[in-house]
A and B are shown apart, each in its own frame.
Chain A
Amino acid sequence: MAFKKSAVPFSGTPEQEEKLKAVIAEHKDDPGALMPILQKAQDIYGYLPIEVQTMIADAMEIPLEKVYGVVTFYAQFSINPKGQYKISVCLGTACYVKGSGDIFNKLQEKLGIGSGEITPDGKFSLDACRCIGACGLAPVLTVNEDVYGRLTVDDVDKILEKYN
């Protein structure tokens, strides 16, 4: 099986670890403590890499798989950080019927990463999102705060070039 470790090396700081420890200490004995701990851990680190999940599992004395199972169950958690350029492709109904699926596939192919992943250089991350309220421009994608609309598959190369 392919080991799904984040492509970007972990760069957590001692300060972040202290914060995480405080959060775990605060919630450890609550019933259902894992969810709030994971949410706060993601606030601290921005994502939940294996290093952070291992710290949580060890401190809570539960198997790492239990943590990973919850993290992958909920869409709100990410095991990868966001890139310098965060690409979101709208796969909402209007964009999808206008062909955003193909655009999304093209981006996966060009960047060599899947949904929720990040390029090894940390430059681009790719996510699918639901409606961003710009259906008139469908299909739509955003790169950080920039919005690109009325796209075709051929536009993908030009957009990526702008950020290279």
Chain B
Amino acid sequence: MVNIKINGVDYSVPEGSTILEAARTAGIKIPTLCYLKDINAIGACRICVVEVKGARSLVASCVYPVNEGMEVFTNTPKVIESRKTTLELILSNHKKECLSCVRSGSCELQELCNEYGVEENRFEGENPAVELDDSAMHMTRDNSKCILCRRCVAACGVTQGIGVIGANERGFATQIASPFDMGLADTACVSCGQCIVACPTGALTEKDDTQKVLDAIADPDKFVVVQAAPAVRASLGEAFDLPVGTNVEGKMIAAMRRLGFDKVFDTNFSADLTIMEEAHEFLDRVQNGGTLPMITSCSPGWIRYCENYFPEFIPNLSTCKSPQQMFGAVVKTYYAQKLGKNPEDIVSVSVMPCTAKKYEINRDDQSAAGIPDLDITITTRELSRLIKKTGIMFNDLPDEECDSPLGTGTGAAVIFGATGGVMEAALRTAVWKLTGEKADSPIEFKDVRGVEGIKEATYNVGGKEVKVAVASGLANAKALLKKVKAGEADYHFIEIMACPGGCVNGGGQIILPASVKNFTDIRAERAKVLYDIDSANKMRCSHENPDVKAVYDEFFGEPNSHKAHEVLHTSYKAQKLYR
């Protein structure tokens, strides 16, 4: 510990911490824009400046370490004036359409400008026209709102190890863009959306599909069904000022019903269905000499990454569609048949913590009924926008339950939203199956839980040793796959999720400011919601789901049947990095 003074008060703070961190333990929030813990400590934006006694000039507190006897002043007139001027300079070429900007209210720049009482147009300079990049299916980049903090660059390059965006040119001409200014759609972008949740302003936004949803609901000839992914219920409340880690499952269902969907279902149903298919596929590969390790296929960001960077692992990928797509496929085949409806008259909507889902619904081999399995996918953020726009008072809603028959999910399904969840869910069913379908089959596989980027475990399953690994965040996935490729590891089963921490931290979740993310592990807080739902559920294993049993009895026959393969499985192909 070192002893320092902050604003004249003595504190003892951990050695090696930055002034920013030390001040936070003292209850002082120093504003930041460019700083993101672990991935972007570049001291570039100069918003976090403070005075240090004896220092020649103001220092950037996000990168300045404390030392014994240091005296720090966080709010002197000099500091305030400097931060204010910096904000005014940032505004000088910022597209100030805050009234209609999708990030109004969650924009870190807007909040700071408000706090510091800036003069909006103090500096008027050159405002070169900036071209919008809306080439990708899932997002738009508007550099006229970019403040060059490089948080998106760090998310893409460091967290995900991809790096399809960076700073081009220099000085005033600097733009965050892709190589040779090609559109994002022409790059190796995997659509994970981690850049969007890293962005402090409205420069990066998902493609908004909320109007499509409203139009479908308003069309009397359409039967509109909705499913929500497990992770959505762990984040949606944040848009309505509820604390991080609040479970809003019941209110979420109630809100979707009030939006006017004809049926409100749960992706948990198809997560259980995925486990039935995937666990059986795994057992089949183990017993019949199939390609191992088998790797999960739920995360479309990961699938695209694999096709881009590790096509040699395509045979290892489970052929199971993602739960979203399985749901869509079941709705337009089994459920349409059950209703006696033409699948063309059904509009299938999903709410996902994910932007890559917008890419996934357009993939090949995702049309079990000859038409796309899914019609519209919106993110958790877009759902929150719809709820606000339609005047639904979210926090006052009662807790409701999903409709039948595609609305039931087990505890195994809901943990899909956290890294390690799919693995644990698959193990629950695989172990049960391999050890004679006993009632006391183990439920909890805690070694694969937690926010760590790479986790490994070995389980004894029916006398056979099964080695598993779990990776989240694509930089971690890359490290793990390199190990497998080099023959340094011989896993049987690997779970990979594109986003660090899994879907709970997906690119479509509610955006929390860096002032929260830098000091709270939102991955862990949101994951806890899902594990709590799991442990409170009477049904903990996918094979116990009565709706899933019914769909096999009435439609598919058994897991991995010919029909199941036609409807619930898909294929992959290697992709070029740049087109």
Q: Which positions in A face B, CB cutoff 8 Å?
A: 1-5, 50, 53-54, 62-69, 72-73, 79
Contacts and interface: CB of A to CB of B under 8 A. Distances in A.
B214 interface: no
Contacts of B166: 63, 65-66, 68-69
Contacts of B163: 62-63, 65-66
B181 interface: yes
Contacts of B170: 72-73
Nearest to B175: A1
Contact of B180 (A50, A62, A63, A73): A50
Interface of B: 131, 133, 135, 157, 162-170, 177-183, 186, 577-578
A79 B179 CA distance: 11
A30 to B, nearest CB: 20
A62 B161 CA distance: 9
B160 to A, nearest CB: 11
B183 A1 contact: yes
B133 A72 contact: no
B182 A3 contact: yes
A44 B157 CA distance: 29
Contacts of B180: 3-5, 50, 68, 79
Contacts of A68: 166, 168, 179-180
A73 B166 CA distance: 11
Nearest to A54: B578
Given A1-B177, A5-B180, A63 B169 contact: no
Contacts of A5: 180
Contacts of B165: 65
A62 B180 CA distance: 16
B154 to A, nearest CB: 13
Contact of B168 (A3, A50, A69): A69
B131 A1 contact: yes
A4 B167 CA distance: 15
A93 B207 CA distance: 47
B164 A72 contact: no
Contact of A3 (B164, B167, B169, B181): B181
Given A63-B164, A65-B164, A73 B179 contact: no
Given A3-B186, A68-B166, 11 more contacts: A1-B178, A1-B182, A2-B131, A2-B181, A3-B183, A53-B179, A54-B578, A62-B163, A63-B157, A73-B167, A79-B180
